[in-house]
A and B are shown apart, each in its own frame.
Chain A
Amino acid sequence: MTAQALDGPVRTALADLLLAMADDEFVIGFWDSEWTGIAPILEEDVAFASLAQDEVGHAQALYRLLADLEGGDPDELAFGRRPEEYRHARLLDHPRTDWAFSVARRFLYDTADAARLDALVASAHAPLAAVVAKMRREETYHLLHMHAWLERLATGGQEPRSRLVAAMERLWPDALCVLAGIEGDDLLVEAGVLAEPLAAVRRRWLAGLAPELERLGLPPAPATPPTRCRGPERPDDFRWLWEQFTMVRRSDPEAVW
């Protein structure tokens, strides 16, 4: 299906989905890149920074899809908006905090994102299906790595475990927002862009996670996501991150790289 074949409301919903996904990947990429130089061991430093870099790469591909659909410039989309215009899930409003917190967040995000990608790999919007197929191959490693870390923190002694449990309790409601907050996902399902509504993707994700969480004795998911999942209100933590990642561009918006 070409961009022209999409009618008004479907196209609007697709644009919102692309922006939300791109912003999710972009913002988690920036938060997690903060571990560069200070991760628990040198090897993990490289690994976590590499995961973060992958996400920024995915964001770039998604901003490009959006620019192809709606016009505009991917860099402008990434760096040229006000904080309240970003559409990332509330899960990504939290600061880096401690290692267990970043692991818990990335675990919840990567597993939710994997469920979302599953629902898009056969998308009728062919350019999206192609990008998603590539993203899934990189996410294979992200998932392996995050399952490995979740297990180690959950079973690695009292302090790692209590920090992990505290992080999950704090993050769970906002994690549900990764698979919520897109207007018109039912239209996307009708048009074949998305395989099932986000609420169904969310249920599939949670059902998949439940045995692992139970085995490790970790907190289960709450029943429903918060009412406002994707802005426009943003906490100071995100505004601080926004100041950081837009700093160079704002210093000279006309600069050519």
Chain B
Amino acid sequence: MAGQPMQVYEVFRREREGGAMQHAGNLLAPDPELASHYAREFYGRRQESVRLWIVPRAAIIDLDDPDLLQPPFDRSFKKPAGYSTEIKAKLAAARARAGTEAEEAER
């Protein structure tokens, strides 16, 4: 370990098969091999994980620019939730019309 600077590694874990990888925490290690050992100790030794990803923090592309992530104008039309509220109302109206037309056709 002499002369090996310690690096921060971020650890992601999967709790059960089919689940998403989620951030678990981080640790310090002098190299990738010991980082994987320590990740196992911190986030896997109690059978709480089925998979770990161990990533040097230096490899992570960090993005936190508010101009990119928090645009100032109303962007509700880009959100599925806002969009679907309106669509649902339109769909209900269309169904109502179609229902009426169907009844008329049967007569």
User: Does B42 interact with chain A (Cβ within 8 Å)?
Assistant: yes
B21-61 contact mask (Cβ, 8 Å, vs A): 1 or 0: 00000011110011001101110010000000000000000
Contacts of B34 in A (CB 8 A): 43, 148
Q: Is the CB of A145 within 8 A of B37?
A: yes
- Other than the known A46-B41, A46-B42, A47-B38, what 11 A-B pairs have Cβ atoms closer than 8 Å? A40-B1, A42-B28, A43-B29, A44-B38, A47-B37, A47-B41, A50-B41, A148-B34, A152-B1, A156-B4, A159-B2
How far, in Å, is B54 (CB) from chain A's closest CB?
12
Nearest opposing residue in chain A for B2, CB measure: A157
User: Does B98 interact with chain A (Cβ within 8 Å)?
Assistant: no
Known A-B contacts A47-B37, A148-B33; A156 and B2 likewise in contact (beta carbons under 8 Å): yes
Q: Is the CB of B2 within 8 A of A148?
A: no
Q: Is the CB of B41 within 8 A of A41?
A: no
User: Which bracket fits the contact residues of A?
Assistant: 10 to 19
Contacts of B6 in A (CB 8 A): 41
Name B's A-contacting residues (CB within 8 A): 1-4, 6, 27-30, 33-34, 37-38, 40-42, 45
Main secondary structure of the interface of B (DSSP, over half): mixed
Q: Is the CB of A148 within 8 A of B1?
A: no
Q: Is the CB of B2 within 8 A of A43?
A: no
User: Does A160 interact with chain B (Cβ within 8 Å)?
Assistant: yes
Task: Identify which of residues 129-172 in chain A touch chain B, using a CB-to-CB cut-off of 8 Å.
Answer: 141, 144-145, 148, 152, 156-157, 159-160
Give CA–CA (A160, B30) in the complex, Å.
Answer: 15
Nearest opposing residue in chain B for A153, CB measure: B1
What would be 6 A-B contacts, judged by CB atoms less than 8 Å apart?
Answer: A43-B34, A43-B41, A46-B41, A50-B41, A145-B37, A152-B30
Give CA–CA (A246, B20) in the complex, Å.
Answer: 46
Among all A-B residue pairs, the 3 with the closest Cβ atoms: A157-B2, A43-B38, A156-B2
Q: Is the CB of B37 within 8 A of A148?
A: yes
